[in-house]
Structure 1
Amino acid sequence: MFDQPISGLSRRDVLAGATTAAVTAVAGCSTVLDWIGEQALEAVNVLNGTDGPVSGRLEIVGADGAVVLDEQFDLVSSDAAGEEEQGNMEFYPDVWTEEGEYEATIELDDTEIDGHSSATETVSITNPDEEMLLVALDADDLDSSIAFRTGESFSEILDL
């Protein structure tokens, strides 16, 4: 979406604001949260919510068997995200090629989260221009230690 800062803010600043807005949105309106999500998030997003750094590989395969994303990532801990150049999120734009089922697989290098070092999920994309995938590693309030969530807005992904 944006490679340039938004009104003088870096992507990291926007995401820090989004996290704050997420807490606020639970108690009230999610409009601000969705606006921030639209500015910062891409088609596929990996979030490290653990207390330590995480590296690994994310692969997404379309229904036709074609690999639409195959990327390595190296993320700092959620606590160190504001202190280091590298953040605790990775963003991948323009992943969805068409409506359909995609198989997303994440494999972690030398890290286990609640005894798991990999996970696979089939995600259904009905609106490729609008839908996003969040792969959350040990994020609070999600149903799994490695969670795959899709939606057209940040609040929908977080189920607020």
Structure 2
Amino acid sequence: MVLHQTRSQCSNSTNRRRFLAACGVGFFGSTAGCTTIVNSLADLALGDVNLFNETENVLTGTVTITGPGDETVLSESFELPPESDDDDTDENNDEDGVTAYEDVWTEPGTYEASVELDGDSEVQGESTTSESISIDDTSEEMLAIAFGMEGVDDAIGFIVGESLSDFAQA
């Protein structure tokens, strides 16, 4: 018997692992209150580039990252559901407002990150934005692109950090 998974099945499996890790982050964070535990568990769910939808709407668009040598290292369309307030995430919303992309950073340097939202998708009137970011440690640093996040000056904010708590402190 030959077993194989299609790309879609692998993606669903990865999404479910990320969702379970995010649930674990919430559980341990609320019961233990320990930043180290929360950050360790979040590392399982996060990638090099992470999209966080803090709005109440589904957002669709494209994220593009250009590397230090002007090569495109990430260009992906996304459909990002809103963050769920309840613990009951259904199968169509298993990512709970988060999408992660791994293996983006090719070398230390300055990267150009841009987001273009489709059609009716916008956050506080913004539908496109870009920012130059600096990545010094490609194995540790991550980028959060936060849509409608409280405490961030821009409607679509870019935050570089090494852990989930770095993103929350922005």
* TM-score, normalised by the number of residues in structure 1: 0.83
Mapped contact 2:59–2:122 kept (Cα < 8 A): no
Q: CA deviation at 1:72?
A: 0.3
Corresponding position of 2:4: none
Amino acid at match of 2:102: P
Matched, 1:32 2:37: yes
3-state SS of paired residue (1:10) = helix
The reply on whether 1:85 has 2:92 as its aligned counterpart is yes
Q: Name which of 72, 89, 93 aligns with 2:77.
A: 72
Which of these residues, 9, 13, 19, is aligned with residue 12 of structure 1? 19
- Pairwise CA distance, 1:24: 7.6
Which residue of 77, 101, 124 corresponds with 1:114? 124
Q: Is the 8 A contact 1:149 1:158 kept in 2?
A: no
1:54 aligns with 2:64: no
Structure 1, unpaired ranges of 5+: none
Aligned pair count reads 154
User: Which deviates more, 132-141 or 96-105?
Assistant: 132-141
Q: Residue by residue, what CA displacement relative to the aligned partner does 1:18-72 show, whole Å, maximum 9, x if unpaired?
A: 35666789xx541122112211111111111110111100000012210000000
Percent identical pairs in the alignment equals: 35
Cα distance change on mapping 1:139 and 1:23 into 2, 3 Å: farther
Q: Tell me the SS of whatever aligns to 1:136.
A: strand
Give the TM-score normalised by structure 2.
0.79
Structure 2 residues without counterparts, runs of 5 or longer = 1-10
Higher helix share: 2
Indicate the SS of the match to 1:35: helix
Change (3 A) 1:131 1:54: same
Q: Which structure has the greater CA radius of gyration?
A: 2
Contact 1:113-1:145 within 8 A present in 2 as well? yes
2:48 corresponds in structure 1 to 43
> Is 1:124 the equivalent of 2:131?
no
Stretches (4+) displaced over 4 A = 19-25
